[in-house]
């Protein structure tokens, strides 16, 4: 601050601008209600997880069950046959159903979500969930499952093709980025998140 | 040189920080609506004050404050405690206001010329209360003419009490540029409002 800023005219203007409006309890209530609704609703940019037209849903349901079975088999096979444990605190995400995507390719339901597997390796955590723009950043919406070897956590989430920001919530309190994924700064919120590009082959 | 008590008062941070403890923030991160309500109650007035001064259409202030709190609540799981909470809140609110300003068509009433401002200036022979009210209107009219990018930094620094260090982290603008913006806003206000003191 310079001496010139101690001008009495400016000082009085600042005093005036510092006056707080009265606390409006009704406005506070409206804000809290709006926020509560927004947090449990899909975000405007994650409408990929809302209901699809019935015809596509039927196709998706059949394909999804088949893909999920294939993914689970593939994942468990990988976990049980691995002889070199991965280092702690390493995470990754990968498209989960190549065959499923092949089934969908070329059809009119290109806007359907793609099952995306997220893996977070941390042997010390007691609870891990994934939070991202695809689940409204809900810390309790998508818990991850501990793998049988106890070193990592995994979950498969249907995500629309495109670019998404996400992270892992460890023990309900620590937001952790995926160390293997690129980072991006959210221009709106100023915080960093991990980036996953979901696409169809 | 101004009397010491005036200078000291001017340098004081406004509104001694409303204390929201880290436990409340942690609870809100997990979706505790009562904790979030405590946060809104603590900051709503300051946010409303900032938005009313920032927006080209002050009538939108309540909506923008609500939008900022909604975004904040959704993003809370990503909040990292090493950042000051209220810096983060005002960063979000500033983004909301900037977005609103770019979409709001500047109304004619806002683009007043110098002469009309001087005509509206309160004169010192008015009764006290009337002078205060007209002064307040004059201050807000003058502030509305400060360019957005100068006005925001001026408000963050002088009205909301953020240091230049904090504003640099919030906006990514270097401190030398921030100080220049504040100085330009201050000079503008001083020039506009000086007639009222004559």
The pLDDT-based confidence of A16 (bands split at 50, 70, 90) is very high
B11: in domain: no
**Which of B105, B124, B155 represents a domain boundary (last residue)?**
B105
Report the CATH number at residue B34: 1.10.1740.10
The mean pLDDT of A159-168, rounded to a whole number, is 87
| One domain for residues B162 and B192 | yes
The Cα–Cα gap between B71 and B67 comes to: 6
The mean pLDDT of B46-63, rounded to a whole number, is 92
For A69-101, how does the pLDDT look when each residue is reduced to its tens digit (9 = 90+)? 665 555 555 444 444 444 444 455 665 544 444
Tell me if B88 and A4 make a contact (CB, 8 A cut-off).
Answer: no
Mean pLDDT value across chain A = 71
- The reply to whether A16 touches chain B by the CB within 8 Å rule is yes
CA dist list (Å): A129 to A3, A13, A169, A171, B132: 53, 50, 5, 8, 55
Domain with B85, as residue range(s), is 18-105
B64: in domain: yes
| One domain for residues B31 and B89 | yes
| One domain for residues B74 and B119 | no
**Which of B105, B134, B149 represents a domain boundary (last residue)?**
B105
For A137-158, how does the pLDDT look when each residue is reduced to its tens digit (9 = 90+)? 777 889 999 888 888 899 999 8
Tell me if B69 and A189 make a contact (CB, 8 A cut-off).
Answer: no
| One domain for residues B62 and B99 | yes
Of A119-128, B22-31, B39-48, B133-142, give the range with the top mean pLDDT: B39-48
User: What is the pLDDT at residue B124?
Assistant: 57
Two tokens, residue A104: 């969908």
pTM: 0.59
- For residue A28, which residues of chain B lie inside 8 Å, CB to CB? 37, 40-41, 44
Distance from CA of B119 to the nearest CA of A (A): 17
Left (φ > 0), alpha (ψ -120 to 50) or beta: where does A9 sit? alpha
- The reply to whether A10 touches chain B by the CB within 8 Å rule is yes
Tell me if A31 and B46 make a contact (CB, 8 A cut-off).
Answer: no
| One domain for residues B98 and B152 | no
B1: in domain: no
| One domain for residues B83 and B129 | no
A142: in domain: yes
Tell me if A139 and B77 make a contact (CB, 8 A cut-off).
Answer: yes
A28: in domain: no
B33: in domain: yes
Q: Which of A85, A151, A152, A148 is nearest to A118 (CA)?
A: A152
- Split into its structural domains, chain A has a count of 1
More confident residue, A14 or A91: A14
A65: in domain: yes
- Find out whether A81 and A171 touch, Cβ atoms under 8 Å: no
Report the CATH number at residue A186: 2.60.40.10
| One domain for residues B85 and B120 | no
Distance from CA of A80 to the nearest CA of B (A): 33
A25: in domain: no
The mean pLDDT of A124-130, rounded to a whole number, is 89
Report the CATH number at residue B162: 1.10.10
For residue A193, give the nearest of B40, B53, B78 by CB distance: B78
Task: Give the chain B residue whose CA is nearest to the CA of A31.
Answer: B66
ipTM above 0.90, yes or no: no
The share of chain A scoring above pLDDT 90, in percent, equals: 15
B5: in domain: no
Of A119-128, B42-51, B70-79, B106-115, give the range with the top mean pLDDT: B42-51
The pLDDT-based confidence of A109 (bands split at 50, 70, 90) is low
The pLDDT-based confidence of B167 (bands split at 50, 70, 90) is very high
More confident residue, A53 or B166: B166
A34: in domain: no
The pLDDT-based confidence of A118 (bands split at 50, 70, 90) is very high
**Which of B105, B127, B159 represents a domain boundary (last residue)?**
B105
Query: Phi, psi (5° rounding) for residue A174?
Result: -110, 115
For residue B30, give the nearest of A139, A186, A187 by CB distance: A139
- The reply to whether B26 touches chain A by the CB within 8 Å rule is yes
The residues, ordered by sequence, that sit 6+ positions from A7 with a Cβ below 8 Å of its Cβ are B186, B190
- Split into its structural domains, chain B has a count of 2
Task: Give the chain B residue whose CA is nearest to the CA of A39.
Answer: B74
Instruction: Tell me how many residue pairs between chain A and chain B have CB atoms under 8 A apart.
Output: 158
A71: in domain: yes
CA atoms within 13 A on the CB side of B106: 8
B175: in domain: yes
B74: in domain: yes
At residue B104, does pLDDT exceed 50?
Answer: yes
Domain with A55, as residue range(s), is 45-198
Two tokens, residue B84: 């000051």
- The reply to whether B117 touches chain A by the CB within 8 Å rule is no
B4: in domain: no
User: What is the pLDDT at residue A80?
Assistant: 47
The pLDDT-based confidence of A50 (bands split at 50, 70, 90) is very low
B180 by Cβ neighbours in 10 Å (0-12 / 13-18 / 19+) ranks as middle
Chain A residues 84-143 with a CB less than 8 Å from chain B: 131, 136-140
Q: Which of B14, B56, B8 is nearest to B159 (CA)?
A: B14
């Amino acid at each position: 601050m310079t001496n010139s800023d101690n001008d009495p005219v400016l000082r009085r203007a600042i005093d005036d601008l510092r006056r707080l409006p009265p606390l409006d309890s009704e406005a506070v209530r409206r804000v809290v209600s709006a926020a509560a609704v927004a947090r449990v609703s899909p975000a405007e940019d994650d409408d990929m997880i809302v209901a699809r037209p019935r015809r596509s849903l039927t196709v998706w349901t059949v394909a999804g069950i088949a893909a999920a079975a294939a993914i689970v088999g593939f994942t468990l096979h990988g976990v049980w046959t691995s002889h070199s444990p991965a280092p702690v605190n390493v995470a990754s995400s990968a498209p989960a159903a190549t065959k499923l995507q092949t089934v969908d390719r070329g059809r009119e339901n290109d806007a359907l979500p793609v099952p995306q597997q997220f893996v977070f390796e941390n042997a010390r955590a007691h609870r891990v969930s994934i939070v991202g723009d695809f689940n409204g950043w809900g810390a309790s919406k998508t818990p991850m499952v501990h793998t049988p070897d106890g070193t990592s956590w995994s979950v498969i989430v249907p995500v629309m093709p495109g670019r998404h920001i996400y992270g892992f919530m460890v023990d309900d309190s620590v937001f952790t980025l995926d160390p293997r994924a690129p980072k991006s700064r959210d221009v709106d919120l100023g915080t960093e998140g991990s980036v996953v590009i979901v696409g169809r082959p | 040189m101004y009397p010491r008590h005036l200078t000291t008062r001017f340098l004081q941070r406004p509104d001694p920080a409303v204390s929201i403890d880290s436990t409340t923030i942690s609870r809100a991160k997990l979706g505790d609506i009562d904790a979030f309500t405590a946060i809104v109650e603590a900051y709503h007035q300051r946010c409303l004050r900032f938005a009313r001064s920032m927006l080209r259409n002050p009538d939108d202030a309540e909506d923008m404050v609500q939008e900022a709190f909604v975004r904040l609540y959704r993003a809370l799981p990503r909040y990292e405690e090493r950042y000051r909470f209220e810096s983060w809140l005002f960063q979000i609110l500033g983004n909301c206001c900037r977005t609103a300003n770019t979409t709001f068509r500047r109304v004619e009433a806002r683009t007043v010329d110098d002469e009309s401002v001087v005509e509206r200036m309160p004169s010192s022979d008015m009764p006290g209360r009337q002078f205060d009210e007209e002064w307040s209107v004059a201050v807000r009219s003058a502030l509305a003419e400060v360019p957005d990018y100068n006005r925001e930094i001026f408000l963050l620094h002088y009205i909301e009490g953020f240091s230049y260090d904090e504003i640099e982290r919030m906006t990514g603008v270097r401190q030398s540029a921030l100080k220049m913006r504040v100085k330009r806003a201050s000079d503008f206000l001083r020039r506009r409002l000086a007639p009222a003191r004559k």
